[in-house]
Amino acid sequence: MKSFATGAERSIVCAYEVFTGTHLAGGPCAPTGRATRTDYAYVMQFGGGNIVHMPKIGHSGLALKERGWA
């Protein structure tokens, strides 16, 4: 995790992370051995003690391409 922030007045928590991985097994095609490093963020909105909305912000299409899936 690179960054974490809260917005108490709006009941929001933001988390910024970097996913790294190498396609060695599984997936929609034979293992490619290719790696990816992808930035993404989650913005979680809470209500009643539960997460009520949580979009993921990132470029998953680029990550798929880097692993050889697209």
Residue 23's CATH number: 3.10.450.50
- Report the domain count for the chain: 1
Residue 36: how many CA atoms within 13 Å on its side-chain side?
20
pTM for this model (two decimals): 0.72
**Tens-place pLDDT, residues 7-60:** 999 999 999 999 999 999 988 889 999 999 999 999 999 999 999 999 999 988
Range of the domain at 41: 3-66
CA atoms of 59 and 26, how far apart (whole Å): 21
